[in-house]
Amino acid sequence: MDIRSTLFLCCLFFLNILLSQDLIIIESSEYAIVLKKDSLKRLQHVYFGSKASNLNEYRSIDKQLRFEVKDAADLPNHVYTPSGTWNTSEPALQILHSDKNPSTELEYKQHIKKNLGDGVSLSTITLVDPIYKTEVLLFYKVYHEENVFEQWSTIKNNEVQAIELKKYASANLYFRNNDFFLTQYHGAWGSEMQPETHLLTSGIKVLDSKLGTRSNLYAPPNFILSLDGIAKEDTGKVLLGSLAWSGNYRFDFEKDRFNNLRLIAGANNFAAEYKLGANQIFETPHFIYTYSEKGKNQASINMQRWSRKYRIHEGEGDRLTLLNNWEATHFNFNEKKIVALLDQAKEIGIDVFLLDDGWFGNKYPRNNDRNGLGDWEVNQNKLPNGLSNLIKKANKRGVKFGIWIEPEMVNPKSELYENHLDWVIRQPNRKEYYYRNQLVLDLSNPEVQNHVFGVFDNLFIENSNISFVKWDANSIIYNAYSEYLARNKLPQSHLYYEYVKGLYKVLERVREKYPKIPIMLCSGGGGRVDYGALQYFTEFWPSDNTNPLDRIFMHWEYSHFYPAIAMSSHVTNWNKESSIKFRVDVASIGKLGFDIEIDKLSEEEKEFCKQALLNYKSLQKSIWHGDMYRLQDPYENPIASIQYVNQEKTSSVVFSFLISQRFQTFYSNEPILFKGLDPKKKYEIEEINLFHREITEINQEATYSGEYLMKFGFNPIVTDKRKSVVLKINEITL
Ligand code: DGJ
């Protein structure tokens, strides 16, 4: 190489370095977020989408953008939009400084990227206010293979006196395109996870929750955003978003004057201004999202894989099948009834018996939901020989023992309320309002945190061999007032944030001491399902509604965000008219359990359940640890179909259910296209979970290539006589 070309290459090299200093590129295995500094040191979003083959390609993207309008200073695509200076959009950050000046400016200072190992990297960007020195760190954690991004921020007060945070988002994203469709969720007790899809029009669409202890009940903290028309299973640009936070949240979707979309996600700032003392750091909740240009199914596979590998407690581990007594007995039980249930658990081969609500309280016996919550001593009338005796009886039968608690809450009719009124979230000078006759304990108070931890800990100290816990939380926060914050001269507006932080501190301690105990996250049905809490839990209770038909729809929606291994799914007497087979088959699409009096089943039904449990165990590699494919949508078809495939693509299971029998639609004339198999592998198909002497209508002798099953499909022959069909697909190896 001659001297001129060497010089030229050197110049190019240094130019590259110079340019790349202006650019921040955050990449997963397939997608990229590109940020660029402008002449005022404002950091802008310039790209979100599929990755370029070469980093240089990103350098001039901003040249194609026209955000600067003549004679106007505002900027819609700031990476963390501050307020009070040039901004005219919804801010990500709003601060009242110690001198009462409400403006903040953020200039880019530096960024660093660290490889955290295990396929994870963390980019940290520092932005600083040139006048007040407020320091904002933006964190982007990238899970490369799963194409999942986790974003949050910290805000540091570098003033001499306290400042007030009025808005403090976790993430502020910017998407360019025209037709954005949003799928949001709403619900109520028994009808959780109802989807609604609509076009986003100009202005701001806000999704939020103000329930305090949980949000999933009315408005789950998840959404599906599609950037190019309504999201489809296998095509389109889709982002799944989820705020990992069990309290109040807020998502702002602002379609701006350029027809682009600004997304601001974080804790809800409603009644939640945060006073930050000098040198203190405030950390926001984490916003988790995945992106796919191959439709919703790939996006949910990303999310589910990520969740199992990195988030849900023991996400790649095993689970226990349960027999719960709630639906079978409610509060009305005694030792004899429970021992009978233990026998039934043993009879059909269930791993763990779970004793639900009603086992505690003596002065105020917990015989209904108005009494005793908070008084965690065993009820002498119902269980005179204590828990240890029951545990022994269970273990003697080869059944493990689990127990229900609701340690964050209290009935006004309880000794806990009488003795520790200052631990209760309630207005000191007003009438109390109740949700399910109960109130919430003030977890902003460290003493209460110790108490809640103690409820869990004492159970294990006092009884050996507890193998499972169901952690319930039925109330939302009414009467929002903390005696503890008042006593410590802290603002009441800290309550919502500190409640959740306090809860996580307790759960952290629980997990430190009891890393191996499976714990179900429950909350009056599907009231608390989020990735903030789920890092401490092995599973969650999606809804008290266990009508199998409704559960198919709910499972369909939850599956966008959460893996089957975490979705407790029980056979109950809801919709008793449907057969036990239908109920068991539906419950098998999640984490199978029972909540039913098994001795009321016929011998054939019991035999069926026993065999179905064995079948389920043989499918765990696919259902718990494999990928899920939504084959046929229950909202659009008379037959719903869901498939799981193990990671090696050697084994799979397809569940098909008859949803609607109108106009003879129950005859499935069309084959269903399977997914996720290896086109080159050969498979055989076996129908399992056949009831009693039922003979399959499937030809089990034939073999099929993966290509055949995915291209031409397979007809499970769902009819009014065969309302649910479970097909096990196995690779044939000669
Ligand atoms: C609500 C839960 O969702 C039910 O499964 C049951 O545990 C009750 N609470 C008990 O009060």
The answer, as to whether pTM is greater than 0.75, is yes
pLDDT band at 12 (very low <50, low <70, confident <90, very high): very low
Ligand 1 pocket, residue 525 CB under 6 Å: yes
Q: Provide the angle, in degrees to the nearest 10, between the axes of the packed helices 386-396 and 335-348.
A: 20
| Closest atom, ligand 1, to C-alpha of 522 | 3
Of all protein residues, the one whose alpha carbon is nearest to atom 10 of ligand 1 is 357
Beta strands in 365-423 (DSSP E): 400-405, 409-410
Q: Give CA–CA dist 140/172, Å, rounded.
A: 12
pLDDT tens column, 630-687: 999 999 999 999 999 999 999 999 999 999 877 765 566 789 999 999 999 999 999 9
Q: Give CA–CA dist 501/709, Å, rounded.
A: 49
Angle, CA 372 vertex, CA 371 and CA 375 arms, to 5° = 170
pLDDT tens column, 591-617: 999 999 999 999 999 999 999 999 999
Of 89, 104, 209, 231, the residue nearest 158 (C-alpha):
104
Ligand 1 pocket, residue 474 CB under 6 Å: yes
pLDDT of residue 3: 59
Element (H, E) at 109: strand 107-117
pLDDT of residue 20: 52
Residue tagged 């949003």 (tokens): 182
Would you put residue 489 in left (φ > 0), alpha (ψ -120 to 50) or beta?
left
pLDDT of residue 628: 98
Judge whether 45 and 77 are in contact, CB under 8 Å. yes
| DSSP secondary structure of 718-729 | --SS-SEEEEEE
Cα of 544 vs centre of ligand 1, distance in Å, is: 7
Probe ligand 1: pick from 368, 469, 474, max atoms within 8 Å of CB?
474
pLDDT tens column, 434-477: 999 999 999 999 999 999 999 999 999 999 999 999 999 999 99
Give how far Cα 270 sits from Cα of 378, 444, 474, 530, Å.
40, 18, 22, 20
Probe ligand 1: pick from 331, 371, 404, max atoms within 8 Å of CB?
404
Beta strands in 176-305 (DSSP E): 181-186, 194-199, 203-208, 222-226, 238-244, 249-255, 261-267, 274-276, 281-283, 286-292
Cα of 524 vs centre of ligand 1, distance in Å, is: 5
Q: Provide the angle, in degrees to the nearest 10, between the axes of the packed helices 446-462 and 386-396.
A: 50
Q: Give CA–CA dist 497/605, Å, rounded.
A: 49
Show the tokens assigned to 194: 């109802």
Judge whether 539 and 518 are in contact, CB under 8 Å. yes
Q: What is the mean pLDDT of residues 191-195?
A: 97
| Closest atom, ligand 1, to C-alpha of 525 | 3
Cα of 89 vs centre of ligand 1, distance in Å, is: 43
Angle, CA 252 vertex, CA 248 and CA 258 arms, to 5° = 170
pLDDT of residue 660: 87
pLDDT tens column, 39-66: 899 999 999 999 999 999 999 888 887 7
Residue 180 has pLDDT above 70, yes or no: yes
Q: Give CA–CA dist 62/148, Å, rounded.
A: 25
Q: Identify the DSSP state of 401.
A: E
pLDDT tens column, 548-594: 999 999 999 999 999 999 999 999 999 988 999 999 999 999 999 99
Judge whether 231 and 240 are in contact, CB under 8 Å. no
Angle, CA 44 vertex, CA 43 and CA 47 arms, to 5° = 135
Please count the helices (runs of H) and the strands (runs of E) in the chain: 14, 35
pLDDT of residue 370: 98
Cα of 545 vs centre of ligand 1, distance in Å, is: 11
pLDDT of residue 178: 80
Q: Find the distance separating the first CA and the last CA of the chain, reported in whole Å.
A: 59
Show the tokens assigned to 131: 């006048």
Q: Give CA–CA dist 291/501, Å, rounded.
A: 28
Beta strands in 536-587 (DSSP E): 539-540, 568-571
Cα of 366 vs centre of ligand 1, distance in Å, is: 13
Residue 14 has pLDDT above 70, yes or no: no
φ, ψ for residue 314, nearest 5 deg: 55, 40
Cα of 375 vs centre of ligand 1, distance in Å, is: 17
Rg (alpha carbons) of the chain, rounded to whole number: 28
**Residue 149 burial (C-beta neighbours within 10 Å; 0-12, 13-18, 19+):** buried
Q: Identify the DSSP state of 356.
A: -
Q: What is the mean pLDDT of residues 22-41?
A: 95
Sign of the torsion formed by the C-alpha atoms of 269, 274, 278 and 279: negative
Ligand 1 pocket, residue 326 CB under 6 Å: yes
Residue 275 has pLDDT above 60, yes or no: yes
Strands laid side by side in the 31-37 sheet = 23-27, 31-37, 43-50
Considering only 70-79, 147-156, 688-697, which range has the smallest mean pLDDT? 70-79
Q: Give CA–CA dist 109/87, Å, rounded.
A: 20
pLDDT of residue 70: 72
Give how far Cα 55 sits from Cα of 61, 113, 163, 573, 594, Å.
11, 16, 40, 58, 54
| Closest atom, ligand 1, to C-alpha of 369 | 11
Cα of 590 vs centre of ligand 1, distance in Å, is: 18
pLDDT of residue 65: 79
